[in-house]
Each structure stands twice: as structure tokens, then as C-alpha cells.
Amino acid sequence: MSAAPNPLESFASAPLERPRPQGAYDLLVTLGSGGMGEVFLASRRGRDGFRKMCVVKKLRPNLEHDEQFRTMFSREGRIAARMNHPNVVSTDEIGEHDGALYLAMEYLEGQTLRGLIGEVVAGEHTVSPLLWVSILCDVLEGLHYIHELRDFDGSQLGLVHGDVSPHNVCLTYDGRVSLIDFGSAVITRDAPSDRELVTGKLGYMSPECVACKPYDRRSDIYSAGIVLWELLAGMRVPRERAVAGMRPKAIPPLSAVMEEISPDLEAIVARAVSIDQKKRYPTAAAMRRDLEGFLERSRRPVRRSALTDLLTGIYGDDRRELDELTRERIAKLEMTASGVRPMRPSMESFSDQMTVKFDRSKLSFLANKPPRIAVATPAVTANAAASQARRPTDDVAPRTEHTPIPMAPAVRHAETFAPGHAHMGPVDDTDVFLGTLARARQRRMLAALFIALLCAGGTAFLVMFQLHFGE
């Protein structure tokens, strides 16, 4: 198995430069993308400052006008909206914004099973086989709920997930295990017997699914068995990539690749990955019962806190980084929505952006006096240079400090100064603060200059007095 990329790296490679609206939601951070959609961490807006964190899955821009993919995306939303189980992600709504379809889903704060496998394969962490078995028990519980789902009239839907893999198993930081992504789900009750379009990951597909033959819930059980085989063996299944029309080879027993393996556990996995559908477990619940029986016989109970401690130890820094980025962008959204400027920051907050220059050449007549300090910032320097190319005309009325400043929702405009001062175009909030600081510095510098002139005049008077009366 290859190491999985960190979710933080996925949004760092193509981040949202600023929060972006999507209907009633604000997209905050890009979490990743798949074959059909892009996934974002988002916040739902409401009245009186209401905000709720969620995940928004958006149809990819190049597929927004493809009717086939729009139909598949809508079907995914209708199927996922029926789910209400702790081991299955819940979906709140399907909507459309500017012609783009999106799904709003529950926010599961954690990592995928694929990401955890990547950390283990890297060799920095180890996981007990019993913990792997416990995780798969929760996956099977979610699968059984999906398989038993009924329509509003009470009839069984015959729902198959169709893409059970480590990529679609989410592990939350509080120890919860949930199935996600129903883009490949099929309602076998309504589906034709011959399926020309098969979606999912080839390495985890059942033989009948690859051959485009009729399949049912036992196809998901086969995929879950492959996942468990790889978790215990610590490697990918060494089998040929099956294609339609080829008879896949049998999965080798775990004892062929592991030095130590319980015969009971090996038999459970072998039954789940049988090539013959009739030899597999009939239901996910039946396989889960056998795995739970194995855990009981091992007499080493697996606590939920074991998964929590493992994820916190591996992803603690990533979690804090994502939390800080989320808080920062939500604060920016609330500031923009309120239309009120933030409080004036302290000088220390701009210490990294300020350059202090001592200009002694212009103060040579006061050799014994402290030098004048000129403070320049990148934003002020850039705006001053731009003002040379576009100075305001005389017909522009100067603004006073009591004149209201027009402010757009997303872009703020700084004040238009009187002739002779720099004229700034659209700027961000930092530039506005720096403009305020510049005016304050000018007042302080004028006061210092006045005091310096008084001192110079007094010195000159004393020198003349001494020269006149000293003789």
C-alpha cells in the first residue's frame, strides 16, 4: 500500500484564497476531490449568527453541464438522504447554486482509513490486529444497515454501496467509524440485470461486479473482506487486475503472507473473499458476528479510546492547523458580513511588515539630537508609488475623518485623501489599518519637529547670548 497524502496537503496544493459562497453555505477549505466531485469543509449560515460546520460535495466544474453525471450526482444525493445510522455519514440536502449541483453532508472530523494505513506502512506507527478487526466490525454494521434499507412503502431497496474501500471509511477523532461516498451505490431492485457502467475501485471490486454480471449485497461483503485482508497482511492483495471476461484468481490465504495468524480469523477472511458468491457470508451482520466472536475469544477487549489515542497521536498537529485556518476564515466572513471595521491593532501586530530606517543625512543640523525615524510598510510604499501614476484631480472633494467611507461586502476602499496625499484603490483591511497608523505617525512627527525647532531656537539664543555678553 502506498502512503496516503495528508488532507492538509491536499488543500495546501490548491487552497481557497478566501471563503466562497455556495448557496446557504460558505466554502472554507478544500479537503480533496474525486472522480465526480470536489469536497470542501464549509459552514452553513443562519439568522442571528447561526453557523454549523458541514461538508459540501460539489460536482466538478467540467461536469456541471453533463446530464449523465448530473443524474448520477442527484441519485447519490437521493440515496444518501435516506441514511440515518452512526456508522454511515448523513446527508442534509442536495442543492444547486449558479448551475452547479452540490450535496451538504455531516462533518466527520477525522481521517480516512486509507490515510491511517499510509502512516502505518511508513513504519512510524503500529496497530494491533484486534483494532483492525474492531474497525471492520463497525464497517460491517454500517453495511448491514445499508443493505436492509427500505423504501417509504416498506419494500426493500436492495441497496449496494458498490465502493467499499479504505478511501471511503472515515475514522473520527472521537473513535467513530463511518462509511462515506455513495457515488457508486446501486439500488438492485430497480437496476437492470446487465450493467454496462460500473464505477468504483477495481482493486476492491467483486468478480461478478467486474464482469458486469448481476450482483447483490455479497459484492460489498467481498470488498470488505479484501479490506480486512490488506489490513492484517499490511500489503495489497497480490492478484492480477481483473477485467471483464477474465476469471480472477483466488485470493491467497493469510497464512501464506503472515507468520502468525489465528486459524479462526483466517477462515473468516477466506469465506468473505470467496470467488463463488454462494460461499460468502449471506449478510454483513453474519460476518460481523463471527468477527465479534473472535474478539471475545481473544480475551483482549478493544476499547474505543484506542482508536482515539492513535489518531490524536498521529494527526494532532494537522487537526490544530485545520482548526486555526477554519477559525481565521470564519472570523473574516463575520467581519465582512457585519460591515464593521475591526479594532485598531497594536503596533506589535505589524512588526513583521514594518521597516525602520534612520535618516541622519536630513538631520545633520541637529548632530547631537536623536535621529528622525521614518517608518515604511510594504502596503504604504506600494500605494505611494502608485499615487505618482494617478494623482487625484483638484475637483475631488477632500474627506474629513467624519465622512463615511463606502464599503463593499467583500472589498473595502480606503479614504480618498486631499490633493498631495497618496490615493489608494481597493485594498484589504490591513491597508486601511496602516493608513490610519500613517496619519497618527504624521501627527507625532509634526509634534516632534515642533519641539525640535523650539530646542534649536533656544540653543541658538543661548549661543548668541554667550557670544554677546561673554566678551
| DSSP conformational letter for 369 | S
**Distance separating alpha carbons of residues 335 and 409, to the nearest angstrom:** 10
Q: How far is CA 331 from CA 13, 29, 49, 232, 327, in A?
A: 23, 14, 12, 44, 6
Using CB atoms within 10 Å of the CB of residue 11, give its burial: 0 to 12 exposed, 13 to 18 middle, 19+ buried: buried
Q: How far is CA 28 from the centre of its chain?
A: 7
Paired sense of beta strands 373-376 and 355-358, if any: antiparallel
**Distance separating alpha carbons of residues 377 and 65, to the nearest angstrom:** 47
**Cell 490515510, residue?**
115
- CA nearest to 132, candidates 269, 328, 337, 275: 269
Looking at 26, 48, 92, 163, which residue is catalytic? 163
Which grid cell is 426? Answer: 481597493
Largest Cα–Cα distance of the chain, in whole Å?
125
**Distance separating alpha carbons of residues 255 and 119, to the nearest angstrom:** 24
- CA nearest to 167, candidates 77, 33, 357: 33
What is the secondary structure of 68-122 as a DSSP string?
HHHHHHHHHHHHHTT--BTTB--EEEEEEETTEEEEEE----EEEHHHHHHHHHT
**Distance separating alpha carbons of residues 440 and 384, to the nearest angstrom:** 17
**Cell 477474465, residue?**
246
- CA nearest to 223, candidates 179, 261, 258, 255: 179
**Cell 449471506, residue?**
282
92 is catalytic: no
96-115 b/e with 16+ CB inside 10 Å = b?
eeeebbbbbbbbbebbbbbb
Q: Which long-range contacts (CB under 8 A, 24 or more apart) does 302-310 make?
A: 302/128, 302/130, 302/131, 302/133, 302/134, 304/175, 305/175, 306/128, 306/131, 306/175, 307/131, 307/134, 307/135, 307/171, 307/175, 307/177, 308/173, 308/174, 308/175, 310/116, 310/125, 310/127, 310/131
Catalytic residue positions?
163
